[in-house]
C-alpha cells in the first residue's frame, strides 16, 4: 500500500508532513478526529526504518487517541505526531523549535504532549513557539505518573471482576518495560503490596528500578518476560507485543499495560479471549495521562489533586468495557471500540477554546 492509500484507508481528517532543511526535521502530524474537540496526542521521537513505517505508526496512534479520549469521556479529539530520528543523536533545540512552529500552524486543531522519545523539557521548549502544547513544567508536567495510576485502577478492576475484591496485595504483576510509566507503576505496585517482576531491553532502566526497590523486584530477560507466570502481564514498552507467537506463551490471566496498540492485529483480541486471558484494552487503561493533561483545560486550570481523582474513572470504564463485552458476546477490545464509536456518534461537541 502506498503512503497516500494508507492515509485514505485510515479515515484521517488531516495528515501534515513537516520538513525543515536547516535543522533536518522530518515529522508527520496526524489529526484523526476533531469530532469531540481539538485533537490531542503526544509527539513520538523514534528512528523509524522508513517514512512509510513512520506514517503507518502515526496513523494508528492518532486513531487510538480518538478512541482513548472518547471512552475516557473527554471533549477531545485524537491526534499524534512522530519525529523521524534518534532522539539521543538528532534532537537539538533548533529542531524542536522548528517542530513547534509546525504545530503552531495548525492553530489548535492539534495539541501536542510528550511521548516516547520526548520529555517535559521538550514541551517547555515547544511552548516558546506555540500555545498548543501540554505537559509543560508550569502545566500538568510529565503524564507518566498519572498513566501509571490509571493502570493500577484498571488492575484493581480486573481483580474485582475475578474475585470480588480489588486488593492488589500479594498479586504478582509482570512489567515489561520500565521507562517513564513502567517505573512509576512498579512504585505504585510495591506500595500496594504486590509482587513485581520487571524486564527492559535497556539495562540502565532495570538498574534504576532495582536500585530504588531492591529485592522486592525480580528481573526477567526481555525475550522471556511474557512467559513469566503471574497474575497480570503489563506491557509498558512498545506496541505489537501481543501476537500469534507470544499469546500462546502467556502465563498470566490478565493483561493490563501502558503500551499503545498492544494487539499485533485485531484477531489477537480473539486469540486472547479463546485462551481465557482478560485483555484490558490499552486505550482504556492507559488513559490516566490524557485525563491528567485534559484537566489543564478545565476552567480553574490544572489542579493535580482533582486531576488524579479523575484518573479513578479508569476503574469504572474498565468494568463497563468488560460488562459490555459479556453482554454483547464480543471481545473487550471490540466492546471498547463500540463504546468509543457510540460516543463519537452521539457525544456532544462542546466547543472550547484552547488554551
Ligand atoms: N508516558 C505516558 O504517560 C503514556 C501514556 C499512554 C501510553 N503510553 C505508552 O506507554 C508506553 C511506555 O511509555 P513511556 O512513556 O514509559 O516510554 P519510555 O520510553 O519512557 O519507556 C519505555 C521503556 O520500554 C522499554 N522497552 C522497549 N521495548 C521493550 C521490549 N520489547 N521489552 C522490554 N522493554 C522494552 C524501553 O527500553 C524503555 O525503558 C509507550 O508505548 C507509550 O506510547 C505512555
CATH code of the domain covering residue 149: 3.40.50.720
In this structure, is residue 137 part of a structural domain? no
Q: Tell me: pLDDT of 26 over 80.
A: yes
In this structure, is residue 345 part of a structural domain? no
- Shared domain for 203 and 333, answered yes or no, is yes
pLDDT in tens, 233-260: 999 998 899 999 999 999 999 999 999 8
353: confidence class by pLDDT, cuts 50, 70, 90: very low
Average pLDDT, stretch 184-207?
97
In this structure, is residue 344 part of a structural domain? no
CA of 80 to the centre of ligand 1 (A): 16
The CATH number that applies at residue 28 is 3.40.50.10860
Ligand 1: which of 45, 258, 288 to mutate, most ligand atoms within 8 Å of CB?
Answer: 258
Contact 59, 16 (CB under 8 A): no
pTM over 0.85, yes/no = yes
- Shared domain for 105 and 178, answered yes or no, is no
Contact 90, 103 (CB under 8 A): no
- Shared domain for 98 and 175, answered yes or no, is no
In this structure, is residue 213 part of a structural domain? yes
- Shared domain for 97 and 167, answered yes or no, is no
In this structure, is residue 308 part of a structural domain? no
Q: Which atom of ligand 1 is nearest to the CA of 258?
A: 10
- Shared domain for 116 and 197, answered yes or no, is no
Nearest CA to ligand 1 atom 26: 237
Q: Tell me: pLDDT of 299 over 90.
A: no
Phi, psi at residue 32, to the nearest 5°? -80, -45
% of residues, the chain, pLDDT over 70 = 97
In this structure, is residue 260 part of a structural domain? yes
pLDDT in tens, 100-116: 999 999 999 999 999 98
Q: Tell me: pLDDT of 355 over 50.
A: no
In this structure, is residue 295 part of a structural domain? no
Domains identified in the chain, total number:
2
CA of 177 to the centre of ligand 1 (A): 6
- Shared domain for 203 and 322, answered yes or no, is yes
- Shared domain for 9 and 91, answered yes or no, is yes
- Shared domain for 193 and 320, answered yes or no, is yes
Contact 257, 225 (CB under 8 A): no
- Shared domain for 148 and 262, answered yes or no, is yes
Alpha helices in the chain (DSSP H): 3-9, 51-71, 87-90, 93-105, 120-126, 144-163, 180-191, 203-213, 267-274, 282-285, 288-294, 304-310, 313-328, 332-346
In this structure, is residue 241 part of a structural domain? yes
Q: Tell me: pLDDT of 271 over 60.
A: yes
In this prediction, residue 296 carries a pLDDT of 86
Contact 55, 80 (CB under 8 A): no
DSSP string, 231-281: SEEEE-S-S--BSTTTGGG--SSEE--S-SS-BSSTHHHHHHHHTT-EE--
In this prediction, residue 298 carries a pLDDT of 77
- Shared domain for 194 and 93, answered yes or no, is no
What is the extent of the structural domain holding 240?
A: 144-288+315-339
- Please return the burial class of 353, using the count of CB atoms within 10 Å of its CB with bins 0-12, 13-18 and 19+: exposed
Is residue 80 among the annotated active site residues? yes
Q: Tell me: pLDDT of 137 over 60.
A: yes
In this prediction, residue 351 carries a pLDDT of 37
- Shared domain for 120 and 166, answered yes or no, is no
Nearest CA to ligand 1 atom 21: 179
CA of 22 to the centre of ligand 1 (A): 30
pLDDT in tens, 275-288: 999 999 999 999 99
In this prediction, residue 9 carries a pLDDT of 84
In this prediction, residue 15 carries a pLDDT of 97
pLDDT in tens, 332-342: 999 999 999 99
> Do the bridges between strand 172-176 and strand 110-114 make them parallel or antiparallel, or are there none, so unpaired?
unpaired
Q: Tell me: pLDDT of 5 over 90.
A: no
Nearest CA to ligand 1 atom 15: 180
- Shared domain for 93 and 45, answered yes or no, is yes
In this prediction, residue 172 carries a pLDDT of 97
Amino acid at each position: 500500500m502506498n503512503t497516500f492509500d494508507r492515509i485514505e484507508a485510515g479515515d484521517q481528517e488531516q495528515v501534515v508532513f513537516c520538513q525543515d532543511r536547516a535543522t533536518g526535521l522530518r515529522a508527520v502530524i496526524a489529526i484523526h478526529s476533531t469530532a469531540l474537540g481539538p485533537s490531542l496526542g503526544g509527539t513520538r521521537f523514534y528512528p523509524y526504518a522508513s517514512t512509510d513505517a513512520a506514517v503507518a505508526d502515526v496513523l494508528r496512534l492518532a486513531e487510538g487517541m480518538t478512541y482513548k479520549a472518547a471512552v475516557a469521556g473527554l471533549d477531545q479529539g485524537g491526534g499524534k505526531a512522530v519525529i523521524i530520528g534518534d532522539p539521543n543523536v538528532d534532537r537539538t533545540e533548533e529542531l524542536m523549535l522548528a517542530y513547534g512552529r509546525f504545530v503552531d500552524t495548525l492553530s489548535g486543531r492539534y495539541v501536542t504532549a510528550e511521548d516516547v522519545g520526548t520529555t517535559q523539557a521538550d514541551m517547555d521548549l515547544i511552548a516558546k513557539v506555540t500555545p498548543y502544547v501540554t505537559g509543560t513544567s508550569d502545566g500538568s508536567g510529565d503524564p507518566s505518573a498519572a498513566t501509571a495510576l490509571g493502570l493500577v485502577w484498571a488492575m484493581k478492576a480486573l481483580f474485582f471482576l475475578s474475585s470480588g475484591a480489588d486488593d492488589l496485595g500479594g498479586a504478582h504483576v509482570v512489567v515489561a518495560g520500565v521507562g517513564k510509566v513502567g517505573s512509576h507503576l512498579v512504585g505504585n505496585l510495591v506500595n500496594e503490596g504486590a509482587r513485581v517482576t520487571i524486564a527492559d531491553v535497556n539495562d540502565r532502566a532495570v538498574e534504576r528500578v532495582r536500585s530504588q526497590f531492591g529485592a522486592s523486584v525480580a528481573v526477567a530477560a526481555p525475550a522471556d518476560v511474557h512467559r513469566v507466570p503471574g497474575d497480570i502481564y503489563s506491557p509498558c514498552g512498545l506496541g505489537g507485543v501481543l501476537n500469534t507467537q507470544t499469546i500462546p506463551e502467556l502465563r498470566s490471566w490478565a493483561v493490563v499495560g501502558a503500551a499503545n496498540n498492544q494487539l499485533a492485529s485485531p484477531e489477537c483480541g480473539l486469540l486472547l479471549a479463546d485462551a481465557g486471558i482478560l485483555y484490558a484494552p490499552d486505550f482504556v487503561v492507559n488513559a490516566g495521562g490524557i485525563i491528567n493533561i485534559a484537566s489543564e483545560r478545565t476552567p480553574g486550570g490544572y489542579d493535580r489533586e482533582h486531576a488524579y481523582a479523575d484518573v479513578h474513572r479508569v476503574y469504572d470504564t474498565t468494568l463497563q468495557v468488560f460488562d459490555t463485552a459479556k453482554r454483547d458476546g464480543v471481545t473487550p477490545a471490540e466492546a471498547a471500540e463500540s463504546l468509543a464509536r457510540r460516543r463519537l456518534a452521539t457525544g456532544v461537541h462542546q466547543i472550547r477554546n484552547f488554551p
